[in-house]
Structure 1
Amino acid sequence: MVTWGGIADDFTGATDLAGNWVARGLRTVVTLGVPDAADLAGITDADAVVIALKSRTAPVREAVRESLDALAALRALGCTRYYQKYCSTFDSTPAGNIGPVTDALLAALDTDRAVVVPAFPDAGRTVYQGHLFVGDRLLSDSSMRHHPLTPMTRSDLPGLLGPQTSHGVAVVPLPVVRAGAAALGAELDRIAAETDTPVLLVVDAVENADLAVIARATAHHPLVTGGSGLALGLPATGEPAHAAMPVEDGHRVILAGSASTATRAQIAHARAAGVPARKLDLAALRADPDAEVDAIVAEVTAAWAAAPRTPFLVYAVGSQDDIQRETAPDQTPAGELVEAALADCARRLADAGARQFIVAGGETSGSVVRALDVRRLEIGPALAPGVSWARATTADGLPFNLALKSGNFGATDIFTDGWQALD
């Protein structure tokens, strides 16, 4: 019976949450987009279902509508608990979309509270005194300050969330969490009882043990919100429940649309290690996108002919200078050009025999899996905190192995060593 339903605001976040549920022993299915009746009928023997949306930077009304559609689908599956998954770096703008979606879910579920827990210590995300840290830096001092779509220039979560929500925001400090689940639960009850409208409760967490306390204290809450870390706080129900993932025979490709510091380091490492690579030429994409993709596909297929098992890296951003240049105002936003080009590359390279993909970046991952016409993922072995291999099958039955990676996640060598699980 499906108990947990996840609503993720991008595709990498969905696999991130699913991977952590799998690690706790929950049989988990990921659907890419809101499932229709036929998709719902095909979901059996699952403890949890995550619906992956592409709503993080969508217009607010669209993000709310898609999230409520996802909630309705999860209710139809019989879910009794719901997890609103957003990025552990709280990627959003003053307009949303985290707050508006939370408000809509609270109203639809008729509940008076939701915890806000972006902390994911295994990935270096912690919350102390209501402030979000990335490693040992405040979020506002991290590379996320320069994110081209959602620049994070503040670190205090109430200050970030307040303009996005119509409800109150309260902070529950670490000493209350460290007092145990009963004390934390009592404090959450007290705050909710003293508030006339639903309240969003930012809860400090700096270690996995803190997440376990929060999970116990919220075991009766119909809705929780956060990064995927809170899923690791659930009690383990057995061994990791990832599928015995078949390895698909075919060529390997890395498609990196992310501009994050972590992805740029991964690109640099792969190139230094001799991975054949091509950087997207933004000027060429503006002039003639089809010709640029034609040239990329020709170069990749030639490299595969010479070395069939060698992955090929296609990437968008290699330096901070690239970020500043490629996010400047122009006819079409650079991000849209990059997403469209990488999606087209994915489709064309799949036709040329690519069956194993590592994709870096939430927006890029969404565009790529839609281009491949993938609707469902079976989660396989973990590559890194928040990153897992998965098996995907298209509507026409074409199978792939996919690793969808948030731009900020993964070790520096993930593009070179991430294939070992498939060997």
Structure 2
Amino acid sequence: MDVATLLASVPAPAAVTAADVRAQADPASVLVVLDDDPTGTQSVAGLPVLTRWEPADLDWALATGANAVYVLTNTRSLDPETAERRNREIAAAALAAAARAGKRLTFVSRSDSTLRGHFPLETDVLAEAIEAHGGTRPALTLLVPAFPDAGRITLDSVHYWVVDGEATPVGETAFAQDATFGFYSSDLRTWVEEKTGGRIRAIEVAALTVDIIRSGTDAVAEFLRGLAEGTVVAVDVVDETDMRVVALALHRLEREGRQALLRVGPPYVRAHIGQDIAAPVTRDRIDFANDRGGLVVVGSHVPLTTAQLDALREARPGTATVEIDVRQLVDSRRDGHLEAQAAAVANALEDGTVIVHTTRELLTGRQASLSSTGCFARASSWTWLAKAKSEGVSHPQNVVPLA
């Protein structure tokens, strides 16, 4: 559908700035963002990002005074049991650190803007963990997968992927065919019923529509106050201001003692903390140590990522490229293949930028029980990145994951 036609009857957005949100945020409240994939921080800037969750790491992050802290869980590349265990560990560690620092936490489960990931497992686990450690179970769970910057919007609870002015329901895209996290429903209400196996019926999911959001903060707060405890809320978002209005309402409810658990795409955290949209990072803003270049990691198999990889290789034909064979990652050849490719990467980085990508095929069947090809490859990519570092790569900060 033509996106202009889709949005023709949508009311004008509210005039809400990032500064308006910052003014209403409680300085004693911190978002702890459990990020299931390394690309989750692409919409924020200047925040602590942890790859470990030891007490000292979380103490340091909270001591910075930041209003949001990211913990990279990488659970989209893990099986459900491991993902559950990791979420529980991080929640417990974060709550203990918050108690030491005198901070109040709101947990954010950051996942994919095209609906792939461990839902409802991760939000269920976080809610249980909060209660198990003496807190009050969140009153609401908000689903905000939208990523307007990248053409992912939600309207009348239907989630769309917009490319070149055409809006396609996300259930009709390649993302919905994911070998592990595939789905049929584009309407978030029926998607919840699908993913919960009917435990939560579509009719029980509340629809926070763009009409309500663009009526202003009072209307959103009133709508959310009227919902029963434990309600899952599908949130419409067409642009950044929609998320800011929702954030203002949630800040108001938090002051009233009503907490929400958030399952979101990349940009919502930015809106919630009142951070302005940062300018894109250009080459002149990247500090390449010793002019040696950086590492571009391409793990996802989906057509969009493949197109990005093709464009990159066409633009930089002389760039060293190392391919990881996904088939070798799922059998006895794994360790030897990773060792060889890690050594190749380390050697090539001595001379400049290196592109590392997985084979483009999608594995299904036995391998799908481990994870989708893209997610499995991402986990493997970070595994051999650690190996490459041990081989002498001294600038792991120059890593750009494409997913």
**Do they fold alike, i.e. is TM over 0.5?**
yes
Q: How far did residue 277 of structure 1 move?
A: 1.6
TM-score by length of 2: 0.72
Contact persistence 1:253–1:356 (CA under 8 A):
no
Indicate how the Cα distance of structure 1 residues 157 and 331 shifts in structure 2: closer, same or farther if over 3 A, else same. Answer: closer
Aligned counterpart, 2:267? 229
Q: RMSD between aligned alpha carbons?
A: 3.6
Q: Is the Cα–Cα contact under 8 Å of residues 125 and 133 in structure 1 kept in the other structure?
A: yes
Residue number in structure 2 paired with 1:53: 73
1:146 to 155, 177, 189: 177
Q: How far off its partner does 1:240 sit?
A: 6.2
What is the CA deviation profile of residues 201-256 of structure 1, one whole-angstrom value per residue up to 9, with x for unaligned ones? Answer: 212111112112111111133334122322333474789699x9865334532232
Q: Distance in 2 between matches of 1:284 and 1:259?
A: 16
What is the 5 A alignment of 1:230-309?
Answer: 230-234=268-272, 236=274, 247-249=288-290, 250=292, 252-272=294-314, 273-274=316-317, 275-285=319-329, 286-297=331-342, 299-300=344-345, 303-304=348-349, 308-309=351-352
Deviation at 1:293, TM superposition (A): 3.3
CA apart distance, 1:155: 1.2
> What is the distance in 2 between the residues matched to 1:9 and 1:42?
15
Match of residue 187, structure 1, among 183, 208, 223: 223
Does residue 208 (structure 1) correspond to residue 228 (structure 2)? The answer is no
Change (3 A) 1:246 1:83: farther
Alignment equivalent of 2:48, drawn from 2, 6, 29? 29
- Asked if 1:6 is matched to 2:32, the reply is yes
Instruction: Tell me the TM-score normalised to structure 1 length.
Output: 0.69
Which of 131, 136, 148 is 2:158 aligned to? 131
Cα deviations by residue, 1:351-372 (Å, 9 ceiling, x for unpaired): 3443455xxxxxxxxxxxxxxx
Q: How far apart are the structure 2 equivalents of 1:146 and 1:140?
A: 8
**Residue 91 of structure 1 corresponds to which residue in structure 2?**
116
Structure 1 spans left out of the alignment, 5+ residues: 358-399, 408-423
Q: In 2 relative to 1, CA 151–276 (structure 1 residues): closer, same or farther, beyond 3 Å?
A: same
- The one-letter amino acid paired with 1:69 is A
CA distance in structure 1 between the partners assigned to 2:345 and 2:73 by the alignment: 30
1:293-352 deviations in Å (ceiling 9; x for gaps): 3443454455456xx12x22221133xxx11xx334369958597456534532332234
Could you tell me how far apart the structure 2 residues matched to 1:78 and 1:346 are? Answer: 36
Instruction: State how 1:397-412 maps to structure 2 within 5 Å.
Output: 400-405=397-402, 407=403
Distance 1:141 1:331 in 2: 20
In 2, the alpha carbon distance for the partners of 1:282 and 1:110 equals 41
Q: How many residues align?
A: 344
Check if 1:175 corresponds to 2:211: yes
Is the CA contact (8 Å cut-off) linking 1:13 and 1:86 kept in structure 2?
Answer: no
Contact 2:88/2:126, CA 8 A, preserved across alignment:
no
For each residue in 1:77-106, what CA deviation from the matched residue of structure 2 results, as whole angstroms up to 9, or x when unmatched?
33334141222222236x632442354367
Cα distance change on mapping 1:64 and 1:303 into 2, 3 Å: closer
User: Percent identity between the aligned chains?
Assistant: 18
Structure 1: distance between partners of 2:126 and 2:339: 43
